[in-house]
Amino acid sequence: MNRYSALLLARALACAPQHAQVLTPVRIDTSGAIVVVDTSSLGQPRTSRVTLNEAEFASLSGRTTADDPLARIDRMDWPGPNAYRAASGMPGPQYWQQRADYTITASLDTTAQRVSGSVTIRYTNNSPDTLRFVWLQLDQNLYKPGSKGSALFPADSRWGVRGFQGGFELSGVQVNGRSATVRVDDTMGRIDLDQPIVPAGGKATISMSFAFRVPEHGSDRMGRDGTLYEIAQWYPRMAVYDDIRGWNTDPYFGQGEFYLEYGDFDVSITAPAGYTIAASGVLQNPTEVLSAAERERLARAAKSDSVIAVITRAEAVATPTPGTKTWRFHAENVRDVAWAGAPDFRWDAVNADGVLAQAYYQQAKAGAAWEQAAEQTAWTIRNFSELFANYPYPQATSVAGPVGGMEYPMFVMVHYGNEAGDPKSIFGTINHEHGHEWFPMVVGSNERRYAWMDEGFNTYIDAFALDRRYPGTNTWPSYVANWKATVDAGIDTPLMTPPDRIDARALGAIGYRKPGAVLLALRNNVVGKETFDRAFREYVRRWSYKHPSPADFFRTVENVSGMDLGWYWTAFFYGTGRLDIGIDNVMMRQQEGQNYAVVTLRRNSAVPFPVHLRLRFADASTQDVELPVEIWSKGDRHEAVIAVKAPVVGVRLWPEGVVPDWNATNDIWGTPPAASANGSATTGGLSGEIGGRATP
Ligand SMILES: [Zn+2]
């Protein structure tokens, strides 16, 4: 923990909670008989004014240099409003979305370490456009020698290819039963169509065979470890065609995630007979692949509030078994499917309010921590359901393996537990990865362009879940410290930066923790907790199983809150602005027996912010004052004139904390009152009822 976060924490924990009192600043005539009391004469120290030179100002202000800090974003800079996306942030009356239903048949060859199979995509064109070509995502081509991703990310990095050479082998490509060609361009491929797909419901059936060698380190999104296979980005997938960009053809470089259409999947996986396969979706043929005992335990687990071992520790032993078995899974209203297989999985399952929560792990590598994974999975599904929207799928699976943490519909990959077997060593990742079931699995944003709508939203909701699981957990200091570290390292970029263009060292901050902090600060200080919770759930309700753009989120928050937040989006999403508001000076005046405190505030960067002041009097009592963001519309200095009962001896800015003020030294004056001991940024949890079930 660095000094800055230590300070924030100290401020947050310093004293008992105080109730904020809103007081309208009083404007008084400065002419006439006014007694000016400079409190320095009362023996109180005065904070010297912090003056920044131009370079420091520019540095703090980042890339947003608008003279008017409250300059409104021209709403026409955002896509729409139009018939597809409404000005209010909801899907428009003619909103449309493509659909892709898949049938996939694949085999795992553990000798050749290959997956091969065939895919049939039934594609529905709901757009108003005639499509004469379609685009596919061919993610395995990241491992083709000379791929763009292998040039961009060092081979030994998290997203790197580690020298592995593979890629898709495609054959037998057909559209509507007629031979076709995929024109491959790195990780994307275009098929020109003999017969165009007509608008508003036209269909095409695209099929082909595919095969690839499984990389050991699949850019930390898939891979294998000995006999364990974790398979994802594994079949040709339809690119998204939407009303914003048409075909979304951003290639897969490794660091940027995915943007996918919704559909139903039928998947069958043939694997060595001794293997257990876990996958997205629901197992369709348990009688063919599970023993009678396993089927009985699974049925019991579906109704049990305590964890049932479907494959026990004693049974989880690799036994050479001749032949193969085919596992069939079905998934509805999902963007993707992934799976894993091993010959010695332990398999635990438990009921989570009607959802089957499951954990698959190899005891020797995953360790004792994973014996808690099914319970952790159930907890996570139950809690996010209570907080944001009901989990809509029938099952939720966690698999232990070499992948650090990666999410797919109903199925997440989480790293092995630590050597001590501490359940906490995996909880954070299990919680985070299942949080992705809401963002982006249900709320289907474009992850490849906007990490903050995926990792950022998820990191925001994780803060509430962690505080529920381990009461008092305050994620705020670590979120802000991580953001600050990227600024100090000179690798800060706006949140709107596509993830592949974020410095890999800054991804944790820019993709995850800075948006987490920025959303917490927006909720706690600007929009207000109750209103923000309402707006956030409304966004989830509006865009479940759809493709929201950033503007749809911004517009929804503005419409629910009734606030123009252009300044907030400008500073913290479009720019790299940093907030530094400080107290310059405090003077006392008296008029007709009434005391007035004149608090001079200074904004040392382009970023405005509403101000919360706590004034302290000689008897240690306090008075809270809230000033709206509009005080900064006229410049970088504001004199707040406040009616008070007695001379003020000290002032503290933002006593409740959870404000990303970059410079704490100018946030106090005199003998300041203590900051509120308000626990954490998420104290009190979310307000109100959940936004309703996110049904397909
Ligand atoms: Zn994530």
Q: 445 alpha carbon to ligand 1 midpoint, in Å?
A: 13
Q: 56 alpha carbon to ligand 1 midpoint, in Å?
A: 34
Q: 255 alpha carbon to ligand 1 midpoint, in Å?
A: 12
Q: 415 alpha carbon to ligand 1 midpoint, in Å?
A: 13
| Rounded Cα–Cα distance for residues 595 and 643 (Å) | 6
Instruction: Classify residue 474 by burial, with Cβ atoms within 10 Å: 0-12, 13-18, 19+.
Output: buried
Name the token pair of 207.
């099929």
- If residue 382 lies in a helix (H) or strand (E), which one and from where to where? helix 373-387
Q: 413 alpha carbon to ligand 1 midpoint, in Å?
A: 11
Q: Is the pTM of this model over 0.75?
A: yes
pLDDT in tens, 406-441: 999 999 999 999 999 999 999 999 999 999 999 999
Lowest mean pLDDT among 33-37, 69-73, 307-311, 689-693: 33-37
Q: Produce one character per residue of 324-333: b if its CB has 16 or more CB atoms within 10 Å, e if not.
A: ebbbbbbbbb
Name the token pair of 98.
């493509």
Decide the pairing of beta strands 169-175 and 241-242: unpaired
Phi-psi region of 162 (alpha: psi -120 to 50; beta: other; left: phi over 0): left
User: Quick check: 62 pLDDT over 60?
Assistant: no
**First CA to last CA across the chain, in angstroms?**
43
State the CB neighbour count (10 A cutoff) for residue 120: 15
Strand ranges of the sheet holding 668-670, from the earlier edge strand across to the other edge: 622-627, 611-617, 648-653, 668-670
With CA atoms as reference, report the closest residue to 281 among 397, 429, 385: 397
Residue 3: the pLDDT is 35
Q: 448 alpha carbon to ligand 1 midpoint, in Å?
A: 13
Contact 248, 242 (CB under 8 A): yes
**Which residues, including other chains, have CB under 8 Å from residue 667's CB and lie 6 or more apart?**
581, 582, 583, 652, 653, 654, 661
pLDDT in tens, 527-559: 999 999 999 999 999 999 999 999 999 999 999
Ion ligand 1 residue ranges (Cβ < 5 Å)? 455
Which amino acid is located at 299 in the chain?
Answer: A
pLDDT band at 154 (very low <50, low <70, confident <90, very high): confident
Alpha helices in 239-312 (DSSP H): 286-289, 292-301
User: Quick check: 405 pLDDT over 70?
Assistant: yes
Residue 689: the pLDDT is 52
| Rounded Cα–Cα distance for residues 342 and 229 (Å) | 7
- CA atoms lying within 13 Å on the CB side of residue 96: 17
SS3 507: helix
Q: 435 alpha carbon to ligand 1 midpoint, in Å?
A: 8
What are the Cα distances from residue 320, in Å, to 1, 227, 231, 272, 688? 50, 12, 22, 9, 55
pLDDT band at 690 (very low <50, low <70, confident <90, very high): low
Q: 410 alpha carbon to ligand 1 midpoint, in Å?
A: 14
Residue 157: the pLDDT is 83
Q: 626 alpha carbon to ligand 1 midpoint, in Å?
A: 36
Q: 318 alpha carbon to ligand 1 midpoint, in Å?
A: 32
Q: Which residue has the higher pLDDT, 582 or 81?
A: 582
pLDDT in tens, 597-630: 999 999 999 999 999 999 999 999 999 999 999 9
Contact 285, 330 (CB under 8 A): no
Rounded to a whole number, what is the largest CA-CA distance in the chain?
A: 101
SS3 160: coil
Q: 433 alpha carbon to ligand 1 midpoint, in Å?
A: 6
| Rounded Cα–Cα distance for residues 297 and 308 (Å) | 7
State the CB neighbour count (10 A cutoff) for residue 305: 10
Helices (H) and strands (E) counted in the chain, each on its own, are 15, 32
Q: Quick one: DSSP state of residue 266?
A: E
**Over residues 293-297, mean pLDDT:** 98
Residue 222: the pLDDT is 95
Contact 223, 115 (CB under 8 A): no
Residues paired with residue 80 on neighbouring β-strands, in sequence order: none
User: Quick check: 475 pLDDT over 70?
Assistant: yes
Contact 508, 479 (CB under 8 A): no
| Rounded Cα–Cα distance for residues 227 and 113 (Å) | 10
**Over residues 180-205, mean pLDDT:** 97
Q: Produce one character per residue of 344-372: b if its CB has 16 or more CB atoms within 10 Å, e if not.
A: bbbbbbbbbeebbbbbbbbbebbbebbbb
Residues paired with residue 640 on neighbouring β-strands, in sequence order: 599
Q: 510 alpha carbon to ligand 1 midpoint, in Å?
A: 12
Q: Quick one: DSSP state of residue 510?
A: I
Find the radius of gyration of the CA atoms of the chain. Answer: 28
User: Quick check: 584 pLDDT over 60?
Assistant: yes
Q: 339 alpha carbon to ligand 1 midpoint, in Å?
A: 18
Q: 508 alpha carbon to ligand 1 midpoint, in Å?
A: 10
Residue 664: the pLDDT is 93
Q: 375 alpha carbon to ligand 1 midpoint, in Å?
A: 20
| Rounded Cα–Cα distance for residues 246 and 296 (Å) | 49
**Over residues 258-286, mean pLDDT:** 98
User: Quick check: 56 pLDDT over 90?
Assistant: no
User: Mean pLDDT of all residues in the chain?
Assistant: 89
Name the token pair of 311.
């494959």
Q: 369 alpha carbon to ligand 1 midpoint, in Å?
A: 21
Q: Produce one character per residue of 630-658: b if its CB has 16 or more CB atoms within 10 Å, e if not.
A: ebbeeeeebebbbbbeebbbbbbbbbbbb
Q: 540 alpha carbon to ligand 1 midpoint, in Å?
A: 17
**Over residues 152-157, mean pLDDT:** 83
Q: 691 alpha carbon to ligand 1 midpoint, in Å?
A: 23
